Structure 1
Amino acid sequence: MTRKDPKDLRSARWFAPDDLRSFGHRSRMMQLGYAEQDFRDRPLIGILNTWSELNTCHAHFRERVQDVKRGVLQAGGLGLEMPALSLDESYLKPTSMLYRNMLAMETEEMIRAHPLDGVVLMGGCDKTTPGLVMGAISAGVPMIYLPAGPMLRGNYAGKILGSGSDAWKYWDERRAGNISDAEWLGVQGGIARSAGTCMTMGTASTMTAIADAMGLTLPGASSIPAVDANHQRMSAECGRRIVEMVWEDLTPDRIITEGACRNAAIVAMATGCSTNAVVHLIAMARRAGVDLALDDLDALGRTTPLIANVRPSGKDYLMEDFFYAGGLRALMKQIEERLDTGCLTVTGKTMGENLEGAEVYNDDVIRPLSNPVYKEGSLAVLRGNLCPDGAVIKPAACDPKYYRHEGPALVFDNYPDMKKAVDDEDLQITPDTVMVLRNAGPQGGPGFPEWGMLPIPKALLKQGHRDMLRISDARMSGTSYGACVLHVAPESFVGGPLALLRTGDMVRLDLDARRLDMLVDEDELARRRAEWTPPEPRFERGWGYMFSRHVTQADKGCDFDFLQTDFGRTAGEPDIF
């Protein structure tokens, strides 16, 4: 393998020439306390750290960055920490999804604008993985992803709790009057016990597994719990490896191929992935020039069994158990014959080489193909006159009786009206009713919020019901479950067919046929379409204004139109500044 010469390092453009600009660059590095031998003729590694005191999932990143720097130094590079937008899932309103593309833009521009030869991307909480990866793909320098890792198992009163999933479950019981104040407080204090991402197979673990399966992390890094000493060692190895990647000129375009994206989709289905995987995986693939579509994901979902028995799609275990059972490498070894094992990874080796020696240590956590949790993959894509551009459902996480269902619609135009109605114990509703929330998509939300797991109305909870068919153009948390149809496209806010549905209309779901339809004749729909009036724009200034004018629909990944690979021309990096 040909190795770079120090004079060919990207950072040499800043520091090598004997001119006034480079004098200024070298002088300012010396102002920071570095000697010239610290930064001349050695790779400069940017460490993009999404740590924040308001991001609980990344609470350990302030320490982990020191591990990365240690590894970079050991390998002969200089590690320089750079703060990146921290998209905490718990606190950001109206939704962190509104800002995923902001992180992607920041990542791309900060890499391009600074004297960096390679980057370590430190993320994990839901939108940080796709945001960082999307930006780094577009920037094109060598990169390695360092996943935050899941938190420890939750625990209360001798019961193991899963973040998110058990919150929804106990909240329903609380609303039904079955949970006391003391019990509710105990669950709150026991469900999240350490730094790290949700320890269910929610969006965070889904997206880090996808990055792992794409070959963007050290093998199996996505499974390591955040507070395990293995995580510190992995972080230091990321630092050592990125320096070698710079010398090898191992750039993202050599790793993120059509085969790598297909591997990521197959692994996502086998893990019981979050429905959010659809939006992010499409966006990441398209940044790399891979035209991944909804129908591709559905086809893989039909043929990939779900073998990770991890909540919420699985019933018994959490991510800590998954790690002890062998982690992602063990799961991938189980489905190795379905993967493109020739794909190159950040290790400089193929995926097949990285999987050598992987073993399953608990075949109830990571099931054999002969005993899957669910015979198909985690997600299914629906089409029909309610969602001509597609919608998503997670069959393994909902009651099978809703796989084929027909019932009258109860339609809500906004979240406050829906929330008020579900708390009305006298609401006229039956278990066959199909609850619908619209104007909650990318533009309508605004920002595509996680409102898609509509609460079960109190009137039904008190009758003992815990699931019902729900439809929206919103997303839902990856830790959620239930018969929820999501990402209806086009969204109602821009005039998609969901905007034409009325309370009382019959709705039919046929999962086997992958159909979702409103049973309304075409003449009536044409009349309603002619009467429809576009709603007022959600934003009139700032980021939201930019977002609403350039975000694509859910089936296209919700990236900005001007950031896609087929938009315009990239000027490159001419030395003109």
Structure 2
Amino acid sequence: MTSKALADLRSRRWFDATDMRGFAHRQRIQQMGLRREDVLERPIVAIINTWSDLSPCHAHLRERAESIKRGVLMAGGMPFELPALSLGEVMVKPTTMLYRNFLAMEVEELLRSLPVDGVVLLAGCDKTTPGTLMGAISTDLPTLFCPAGGMLSDRYLKQGEPARVVGAGTHTRMFWDEYQAGAICDNEWVNLEAKMTRSPGTCNVMGTASTMVSMVEALGLALPGATAIPAMDSAHVRMATACGERIVHMIWEDLKPSRLLTRGSFLNAVAAQMALGGSTNAAVHVMALARRAGVALNLDDLDAMARRVPVLANLFPSGDRLMEDFHYAGGLPALLNRIRAHLNLDELTVTGQRLGEAIAGRESLDDEVIRPLDRPVSEAGALAVLRGNLAPEGAVMKTSAASPRYFHHVGKALVFDNPAEMMARCADPELDCDENTVLVLRNAGPVGAPGMPEWGGLPIPKKLLARGVRDLVRLSDARMSGTHYGSCVLHISPESAVGGPLALVQTGDLIELNLPERRLQLRVDDAELARRRAAWQPPVSPYRRGYIKLYQEHVTQAHEGCDFDFLQDAIPSTEPTIF
């Protein structure tokens, strides 16, 4: 194994020089009350912290940063906490996805420009995980991911009914549909608002946050078992300290992302996604991560894995349990051990062990939460990649959370051009629709929205909710929250705003969804589509300056990861300019 000597540390370029700049660097460190030897005789560890007062998922991360610092010091390193853009999923408008690449750029530039030898990434809410990792992969310094952890579960008690365990995200949508349908009164709705989210931490279902941190663990970039520990569990504090200790050893071992991230490790992450029944958002993020690492990966790889690996994690929205249950059942190591036949077990992890060693002997402690291979949660698999004249570059569908009645469906399109129009019309009791209608939302992709918001869980029209309808086929070039459920086809690529076929759909057109054949087809002849294309005009963007203008000019399409075109390569950017 490669190892580093003290003289080889990157931080020595700042602090060991005998010229005036070296003097100034050491001088300023001592200005903060530190000793000269603190930076000359120890590796320097950055702690990238995405804490914010307006990010409830990360409200505890200031305390966890202190635990990481303790671990770094115990192992002989020197920690420095660096704040980074906090992307709290709930509060950021229009979508955190618009700023994922901003966070990735910030992390890359923080690590490139400052005297650090390795980094612990402290994150967990949906876009903070891929965002921080994208930046760290591009700098290729020893990197360890410390997940924020899920919030505590709640109990829903209603007179005359058994208690129900509830969490954030999925249950919010379920209760909202019941409230819209008149099954929940105003007082009960207010009470639910006040008690469903009981602690700091990420959504405690298998939404995007839980999916992405689990995939990071499967990639080998987090400590085994770390990602399922609840945020408020004392084990979470101890895990953070262990991260601080381990990163120092990783620096000496020169254990960088480029040594861990291979096609095999990415396929391990995809296998974990499928066994978890994970978020469709992962289909975008894993492409971006792979491209940053220079690893070949595409949507067909995801579809192939979904056909092989069954959904074994009985977690909302595909199942009926929560992340606390998953932790008690053995967490990701137990799940990975159960699907070990589908894994590349020789891939290296941050522990210095191979994946096979890291998960050896980790058995499920609850077969209702981590199901056996012969008793999956869903026979349909976690994900399907669809193609056809509506999605030449692909679209995705979370099959494990969809209604089997719609797996092969033909219906008339009802088209919306923006969310405001959609919400207003879906509230209209006279809307012309029924349970066979296919709802279509366009102008919601990376360029069109911009930022590809989570608008893909299109609302069920109120008149249909009143009839008891709880699902419809819904299509868009948007994303959908990982906590959502239903027969939603997402990430249609290329998107409508750049001239994708979705731009040509008209209300009343017949659309065919054929899940077994992985087909999404607009039943309109080629001549008519050509006529519509000739008349189509691209939407005019109102953005003329700043980051959003940059975003619209350089963001790639969903099947390519929605990264910036000028950042998708595997060239490390750690060389600072020192004068």
Q: Is the 8 A contact 2:112 2:576 kept in 1?
A: no
Distance 1:172 1:558, change over 3 A: same
Confirm whether residue 469 of structure 1 aligns to residue 439 of structure 2. Answer: no
Once the two structures are superposed, what CA deviation does each residue of 1:171-218 show, in whole Å capped at 9, x if it has no partner? Answer: 111111221111101111221101110000000000000000000000
2:451 equivalent in structure 1: 447
1:275 matched to 2:280: yes
Name the SS of the counterpart of 2:494 in structure 1: coil
In the alignment, which residue of structure 1 is the partner of 2:219?
214
* Cross-structure match for 2:518: 514
Unpaired stretches in structure 2, ≥5 consecutive residues:
158-162
Q: 1:332 to 1:287 in 2, by over 3 A?
A: same
Aligned with 2:303 (options 290, 298, 307): 298
Cα deviation 1:70-107 (Å, max 9, x = unaligned): 00000000110000110010011110000000000000
Q: Which residue of 2 aligns with 1:37?
A: 37
Matches within 5 A, 1:371-450: 371-450=375-454
Q: Deviations over 1:528-548 (max 9, x none)?
A: 000001110242110000000
Question: Match for residue 140 of structure 1?
Answer: 140
Whole-Å separation in 2 of the counterparts to 1:352 and 1:396: 28
The number of equivalent residue pairs is 574
**Per-residue Cα deviation, 1:272-297 (whole angstroms, up to 9, x for no partner):** 10010100011001100012101111
Q: Which amino acid aligns with 1:312?
A: P
2:487 counterpart of 1:489: no
2:186 matches 1:184: no
Of residues 251, 255, 275, the one that matches 2:256 is 251
Matched to 1:58, the amino acid is H
CA contact (8 A) 1:203 1:478 kept: yes
1:128 paired residue number:
128
Query: What is the identity, as a one-letter code, of the residue corresponding to 2:193?
Result: Q
Check whether the contact 2:260–2:347 (CA below 8 A) recurs between aligned residues.
Answer: yes
Alignment TM-score, normalising by the size of structure 2? 0.98
Kept in 2: contact 1:382–1:390 (CA 8 A): yes
Aligned to 2:3: 3
Aligned counterparts of 1:150 and 1:40: Cα–Cα separation in 2: 38
User: 1-side partners of 2:82 and 2:283: how far apart?
Assistant: 29
> 1:427 deviation in Å?
1.2
Displacement after TM superposition at 1:220 (Å): 1.3
Shift of 1:2: 4.4
Contact 2:111 2:574 in 1 (8 A): no
1:212–1:218 contact (8 Å) kept in structure 2: yes
SS of 1:561 mapped into structure 2: coil
Quote the offset at 1:225 in angstroms: 0.6
Matched, 1:266 2:268: no
The C-alpha deviation readout for 1:349-403, integer Å capped at 9, x for no partner, is: 1101101221111001000101111135311000001111100101110110000
Find the partner of 2:344 among 337, 340, 364: 340
1:576 deviates by 4.2
Question: Aligned partners of 1:236, 1:305: CA distance in 2, in Å?
Answer: 35
In structure 2, the CA distance between the partners of 1:467 and 1:11, relative to structure 1 (3 Å rule), is same
Cα distance between partner residues in 1 of 2:399 and 2:380: 9
* Aligned equivalents of 2:576, 2:156: Cα separation in 1: 59
Answer yes or no: is the 8 Å Cα contact 1:161–1:190 preserved in 2: no
Instruction: Provide the rounded CA distance (Å) in 2 between the counterparts of 1:3 and 1:253.
Output: 15
Measured on the aligned residues, the alpha-carbon RMSD in Å equals: 1.1
1:112–1:139 contact (8 Å) kept in structure 2: yes
From 498, 501, 504, the counterpart of 2:502? 498
Letter in 2 for 1:121: L
Distance 2:3 2:574 in 1: 22
SS of match in other structure, 1:509: strand
CA distance in 2, matches of 1:119, 1:571: 15
SS in 2 for 1:410: strand
Partner of 2:23 in structure 1?
23
What is the DSSP-based 3-state SS (H/G/I as helix, E as strand, rest coil) of the residue aligned with 1:383? strand
TM-score w.r.t. the length of structure 1 is 0.98
> Could you tell me which amino acid in structure 1 is paired with residue 149 of structure 2?
G
Instruction: Give the letter for the 2:330 counterpart.
Output: G
2: CA distance, partners of 1:571 / 1:110: 11
- Aligned partners of 1:443 and 1:538 also within 8 Å: no
The reply on whether 1:193 has 2:198 as its aligned counterpart is: yes
Contact 1:304/1:376, CA 8 A, preserved across alignment: no
Where does the alignment leave 5 or more consecutive residues of structure 1 unmatched?
A: none
Q: Is the 8 A contact 1:311 1:317 kept in 2?
A: yes
Which whole-Å deviations, capped at 9, do the CAs of 1:502-525 have from their partners, x for residues lacking one? Answer: 000000000000000110000000
> What is the distance in 2 between the residues matched to 1:425 and 1:312?
29
Mapped partners of 2:292, 2:58: distance in 1: 26
1:258 alignment partner AA: R
Deviation at 1:41, TM superposition (A): 2.1
CA distance in 1, matches of 2:402, 2:354: 37
1:131 counterpart letter in structure 2: G
What percent identity do the matched residue pairs reach? 56
1:574 shift after superposition: 6.0
Cα distance in 1 for partners of 2:221, 2:137 equals 11
Q: Distance in 1 between matches of 2:573 and 2:297?
A: 26
Question: Where does residue 160 of structure 2 map in the other structure?
Answer: none
Q: Deviations over 1:447-479 (max 9, x none)?
A: 100000001001101111100100000001000
SS at match of 1:391: strand
